[in-house]
Amino acid sequence: MTEPHCLYVDADACPVKAEAVKVAERHGWPVVFVANMGMQLPRGRRVRLEVVPGAFDAADDWIAERAKAGDVVVTADIPLASRCLKAGARVLGPSGKRFTGDNIGNALAMRELSADLRAYGVGGGPPPFSPRDRSRFLQELENLVQEAKRAVPSAR
């Protein structure tokens, strides 16, 4: 039987790895960092790295195939966020932005618009990651974990 809760982190370029481990450890959740190559991770009792070689979206596919109700996924990848929401998982961006069924359509549309504008040389990437983003992430991750625990109680 699989655990009722897991924290999956789309680890490539994720700036909040230590924060994710901190919250997961507090709640006794396993944390699975998923990446295309090996990397140093924060230490934790239930932390593991899943290296998924292959195509560009292989790590995203790995997470989307496993995320389920009761899980929380950390990703900045909006299409991955959409896939995980459809599977019933809760999803949070590294800056603390929560993705929901109510806002994911708009996020996908804005992603496409931004890509089109960049193709024409207008605009740039996301704003720099700030201490306020880190703080918001910690608070929102705590909130999502609490919500997931209430919605899908642990078998312990």
Q: What is the pLDDT of residues 11-63, one digit of tens each?
A: 988 999 999 999 999 999 999 999 999 999 999 999 999 999 888 789 999 99
Share of the chain above pLDDT 90, in %: 71
Give the CATH number of the domain where residue 144 resides: 3.40.50
The reported pLDDT for the residue numbered 101 is: 87
On whether residue 74 sits in a domain, the answer given is yes
On whether residue 156 sits in a domain, the answer given is no
SS3 content of the chain, % helix, strand, coil (to 5): 40, 15, 45
Q: Which domain holds residue 53?
A: 7-151
| Angle between helices 104-119 and 78-86 in degrees, nearest 10 | 160
Q: Please give the tally of structural domains in the chain.
A: 1
Give the position of tokens 């974990």: 145
Share of the chain above pLDDT 70, in %: 87
On whether residue 1 sits in a domain, the answer given is no
Comparing 111 with 35, which gets the higher pLDDT? 35
pTM value? 0.87
On whether residue 2 sits in a domain, the answer given is no
pLDDT digits (tens, 9 = 90+) for 52-62: 988 878 999 99
| Structure-block tokens of residue 42 | 């924060």
On whether residue 112 sits in a domain, the answer given is yes
Pairing of strands 47-51, 31-35: parallel
Contacts of 108 (CB under 8 A, 6+ apart): 78, 79, 82
Residue type, 72: V
